[in-house]
């Protein structure tokens, strides 16, 4: 898991400080197409499902690489947004290079990297990569089973476009949170000083989130086993809630005390 954190600050007074930082996690896998599009939901529970009652934003990242035989003078990325996405909620994200973004007819978003001079991968593999990101909300109401399917086209100078993979999310209803049943998941030790282990007897644990008593998210861990151990040593003493998502579809929670 590759986790990136960003924060921003200025000297002016702000009424809302909660949007000044963000953390994104990406699962590192094997070989990949260097020109790709990936989607991540705001809850972080799944990269394939959009939980209607828990998710809000979809964060898209479009990656590109010049694998030609000469530097690319200009790179243009276009994305035709599917009808399930609300263009009015579009928020521009980070990019590796300066660009101009514009909106074209037919729900097309265009990023133009003029005079980018992107070296080819044979000359400078590291510098041959680039990316651009954005976030957007689906149009509501969103029905369970709806597919949110999107891709992008990447133009290197006058060459034909390279189309990315389809980034597909399926809309689903999340299961309402219920009290943790000891027979389903065992949490030990409680109270805890440094590490706490959650064990499921009959299903796989997909993820665990830890919230403070005032509702702040303190931890978010993914899992793919019936046992998950969390390092909580740096949490300040107090009462916390562990929210556990199970492969059976349930979401359960239980309080624990940090010494």
pLDDT, tens digit, 9 for 90 and up, residues 169-182:
988 876 444 444 44
Q: What is the pTM of this model?
A: 0.61
When pLDDT is cut at 50, 70 and 90, the band that residue 252 belongs to is confident
When pLDDT is cut at 50, 70 and 90, the band that residue 1 belongs to is very low
Q: State residue 7's pLDDT score.
A: 65
Quick one: which of 166, 183, 190, 193 has its CA closest to 250? 183
Q: Which fold has domain 2-172?
A: Immunoglobulin-like (2.60.40)
Q: State residue 180's pLDDT score.
A: 41
Mean confidence (pLDDT) of the chain: 84
Q: Do domains 2-172 and 177-258 have the same CATH topology?
A: yes
For the chain, the distance separating the N- and C-terminal CA atoms, rounded to the nearest angstrom, is 29
Q: Which fold has domain 177-258?
A: Immunoglobulin-like (2.60.40)
Token code pair at residue 194: 């440094």
211 vs 72, higher pLDDT: 72
* pLDDT exceeds cutoff 70 at 35: yes
190 vs 80, higher pLDDT: 80
Domain ranges of the chain: 2-172, 177-258
């Amino acid at each position: 898991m590759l986790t990136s954190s960003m924060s921003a600050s200025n000297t002016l007074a702000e009424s809302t400080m909660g949007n000044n930082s963000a953390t994104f996690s990406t699962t590192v896998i094997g070989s990949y197409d260097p020109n790709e599009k990936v989607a991540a939901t705001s809850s972080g529970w799944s990269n394939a499902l959009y939980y209607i009652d828990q998710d809000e934003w979809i964060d898209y990242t479009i990656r590109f690489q010049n694998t030609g035989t000469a530097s690319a003078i200009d790179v243009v990325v276009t994305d035709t947004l599917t009808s399930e996405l609300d263009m009015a909620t579009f928020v521009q994200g980070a990019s590796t290079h300066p660009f101009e973004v514009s909106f074209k007819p037919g729900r097309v978003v265009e990023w133009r990297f003029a005079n980018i001079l992107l070296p080819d991968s044979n000359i400078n593999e590291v510098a041959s990569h680039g990316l651009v990101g954005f976030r957007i909300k689906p149009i509501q109401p969103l029905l369970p089973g709806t597919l949110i399917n999107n891709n992008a086209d990447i133009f290197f100078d006058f060459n034909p476009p390279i189309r990315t993979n389809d980034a597909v999310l399926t809309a689903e209803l999340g299961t309402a949170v219920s009290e943790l049943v000891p027979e389903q998941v065992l949490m030990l030790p409680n109270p805890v000083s440094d590490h706490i282990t959650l064990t499921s007897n009959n299903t796989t644990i997909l993820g665990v989130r830890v919230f403070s008593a005032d509702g702040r998210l303190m931890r978010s861990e993914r899992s793919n086993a019936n046992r998950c151990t969390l390092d909580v040593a740096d949490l300040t003493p107090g009462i916390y809630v562990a929210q556990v998502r199970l492969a059976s579809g349930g979401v359960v929670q239980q309080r624990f005390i940090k010494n």
